[in-house]
Structure 1
Amino acid sequence: MFFDKCQPLTLSASDGQNITVRIEINPRAKRLILRLDEANREAVAVAPSKRHLKAAAQFATDRRDWIAARLAQLPQQTGLVEGALFNLRGAPCEITLEGPGRRASLAPGPPQQLSLPGDPETVSRRAARYLKKAAREDLADAVERHCATLGVAARKVSVKDTRSRWGSCTSDGGLAFSWRLIMAPHSVLDYVAAHECAHLLEMNHSPRFWAHVARCCPDWKKERDWLRRHGRALHAVTV
């Protein structure tokens, strides 16, 4: 998808809060669009063409108090640094630089202790590497199990840092997931894996699709609701 980025705007809400609005041109857009970029804590105003730039800027300006209110509702960001607390498989986990040996290790809690001996300046990168590897392993296991239930096969399983979707399925059988699912309860990760495996049979969200999901994950509605309520907190963990 093509995006033409323009100079961002800085607006002041009625409560005095300064907010940043990024202006983008997307020829595929049918109208002016205003959305939140939760990772960067800013708003994005999308215009269909250059001649709509002023309208997009005014569109965002007229809604600056709405933007400020929505940004204020976002969970507090947590960095993957020494002493940080975050959730791993749905349970509290603390990052420490102390531990046996020189390799990353996980000790039971509460809270769990993710030991990452080494340079404090690289702890965030090493923590992310550990979590992505754990996510890939958990998701691969879940996909294998659900594929066996449905009688299908996935061509490839990968993890990414996606923002708009927790998982995706391509027409040639490739499955991709957000590595941040490793921070959710395992049952939630399992549901997302079941969801994408079901797409190997139905590339839609028809009743037949949801019947396949239910075969793999009978409580899928509960797990989907958890993601809707807590998904923002997973994206609030920064690397």
Structure 2
Amino acid sequence: MGVYRIGEQEIEYTLRRSPKAKKASLSVTPQSFELLVPENATEAQINAVLDRRRGWLIVSLQHMRERAQAQTRIYRFVSGTKIPYRGRMTKLTVEPFEGSLVEVSFRNGFHIRKPSSLSPASSDAAIESALRLWLKKRVREDAYTFVRKHGERHGLKPTGIQIKDQKHMWGSCGQDRQINLNWHLIFAPKPVLEYAVVHELCHLKHRNHDPEFWELVGRVLPDWESRKAWLDKNEHMLGWERVETVM
């Protein structure tokens, strides 16, 4: 992780070195940006690239802040509250019951059963925690489905899949051939999640975003560009911000 200063602001960025990269390239991620450089790039060369793209960075970071401000805000997890799910705003129905744990199910909306003994303050935290766990399980199930669908026939076999709360990227592919996915992808339509999985699968063969990489993505998903475009345009939808209220 690197840090670049613009005035009084310190901006964290991901620095990736690649033996295949012929020149430096910058790309915006949900909350930060990534700099890809040749393997032997010096610190002076890296700083020179950042200085040249200073104006672009300022505009891009402002754009990301505006997107963050547009994120769904949740004040209470009660009946009628809506959260994003698979590209749509989906309503919660919450009802008390005599059990001891929050239960989550989905049928034309989220149905939440919460212990009647929970206070309003602890109820919100418990429902949010149960929803996160349920959503992360859905991401994992979908991801394994897409790996089975595309991986074997294209010779792309990861060692495993990890679902993470990644701040700066939608996914990554480690040197150990393990795929990591941001659980917030569950808020996108299924075809967009499929694109994210395929994107990381293709990194098993091509570690950077060279033309051969995108050619492979296109062989697996011919319409990948429209799926990526949706992700780029609607990233602010992929999650919620919990706003604490005074009880």
Quote the Cα distance in structure 1 between the aligned partners of 2:30 and 2:213. Answer: 30
Query: Who is 2:218 aligned against?
Result: 214
Quote the Cα distance in structure 2 between the aligned partners of 1:87 and 1:128. Answer: 12
Quote the Cα distance in structure 2 between the aligned partners of 1:192 and 1:36. Answer: 13
Query: Who is 2:77 aligned against?
Result: 81
2:160 paired with 1:156: yes
Quote the Cα distance in structure 1 between the aligned partners of 2:30 and 2:234. Answer: 17
Question: Unaligned stretches of 5+ in structure 1?
Answer: 4-20, 29-34, 40-47, 49-58
Query: Who is 1:97 aligned against?
Result: 94
Q: Summarize the alignment of residues 91-130 of structure 1 with structure 2, pairs less than 5 Å apart.
A: 91-98=88-95, 103-108=103-108, 112-118=109-115, 119=118, 120-121=123-124, 122-130=126-134
Assess if the C-alpha contact under 8 Å between 2:185 and 2:193 holds in 1: yes
Amino acid at match of 2:104: A
SS in 2 for 1:208: helix
Question: Unaligned stretches of 5+ in structure 2?
Answer: 16-27, 33-42, 44-53, 243-247
Task: State TM-score, norm by structure 1.
Answer: 0.66
Quote the Cα distance in structure 1 between the aligned partners of 2:197 and 2:90. Answer: 23
Larger relative contact order (CA 8 Å, sep ≥ 6): 2
Task: State TM-score, norm by structure 2.
Answer: 0.64
Quote the Cα distance in structure 2 between the aligned partners of 1:37 and 1:151. Answer: 30
Q: Please state how far the C-alpha of 1:234 moved relative to its aligned partner.
A: 1.0
Q: Please state how far the C-alpha of 1:134 moved relative to its aligned partner.
A: 0.9
Quote the Cα distance in structure 2 between the aligned partners of 1:36 and 1:182. Answer: 17
> Among the aligned pairs, what percent are the same residue?
27
Quote the Cα distance in structure 2 between the aligned partners of 1:24 and 1:36. Answer: 13
Quote the Cα distance in structure 1 between the aligned partners of 2:226 and 2:72. Answer: 25
Calculate the aligned-residue CA RMSD, in Å.
Answer: 3.5
1:70–1:204 Cα change, 3 Å? closer
Query: Who is 2:146 aligned against?
Result: 142
Q: Deviations over 1:165-201 (max 9, x none)?
A: 1110011210000101111000000001010001111
Quote the Cα distance in structure 1 between the aligned partners of 2:63 and 2:198. Answer: 35
Matched residues, number:
190
